[in-house]
Amino acid sequence: MADLSPLEQALGTEFRDKDILRQALVHRSYLNEHPDFPIGHNERLEFLGDAVLELVVTEHLYANYENPEGELTNWRAALVNADMLSGICSRLGVEPHLYLSRGESKDSGSKARYYILANAFEAIIGAIYLDQGWDASKTFVTKYVLSELPRILEHRLYVDPKSRFQEAAQEKMGVTPNYKVISESGPDHAKKFEVGIYLNKELVASGFGTSKHEAQVAAAEAAIRAKGW
């Protein structure tokens, strides 16, 4: 089996049981092609890691901020969503170590890969918890997840992109943005949409998605970057 010491170094933690880290990297699809592989998939570890992550983040927010429950809930959601976790997982260099089916291996950059990375990150947290206990898993989450909180608060990333762009447009220009579908492609069961976001008649940016809402969110994110808001 592949040497996981480079990954341990990237994660900043050495496992007593290497197989528990390896299991955190095994996607169910790999076992479909390798039924004799001696280690199970990572879904149970993901289940455990999700709970550990939520508790560490919740405890930190409760202990350090006296904001109302609704605000803390939004902050927590911004910290533990799939977008955040997949990004952290990617930056830590986990992806090359994943055990994936041939089909999944070729699907780099897809929405499915984005969720696989987020789930693997939660599974790694679960593996750390089982291998080293609460304090080690709390240290890991604090280092890699809670460290994102200042950026989230500074840029109000806990507010969805459509709301953020609308608030900024109304404040800075007195204009409410509107969205228009620029193009549709693909069969009914796999549609892809391009949506433009406009201020008056100015096309600020466009975004793509598998639903109109997803494309609108992508357009709003692009518009925030384009305007520097």
Write down the pLDDT at residue 109. Answer: 65
Domains assigned to the chain: 5-154 (1.10.1520.10), 161-227 (3.30.160.20)
Write down the pLDDT at residue 40. Answer: 96
Q: Which of the residues are catalytic?
A: 50, 122
With cut-offs at 50, 70 and 90, classify the pLDDT of residue 190.
confident
The CA-atom distances, in angstroms, between 62 and each of 50, 54, 69, 148 are 18, 12, 9, 17
Write down the pLDDT at residue 1. Answer: 80
Write down the pLDDT at residue 36. Answer: 95
In 10 A of CB 52, how many CB atoms? 20
Phi, psi dihedral angles at 92 (to 5 degrees)? -80, -5
Residue found under tokens 């507010």 = 159
Q: What is the mean pLDDT of residues 57-82?
A: 96
Phi, psi dihedral angles at 203 (to 5 degrees)? -80, 110
| Region of poorest pLDDT, from 22-31, 40-49, 151-160 | 151-160
- Quote the mean pLDDT of the chain: 94
Write down the pLDDT at residue 155. Answer: 86
Tell me the pLDDT tens digit for each residue of 72-116: 999 999 999 998 999 999 999 999 999 999 888 877 666 788 899
Spatial separation of the C-alpha atoms in residues 81 and 120, rounded to whole Å: 13
Q: How far is CA 228 from the centre of its chain?
A: 23
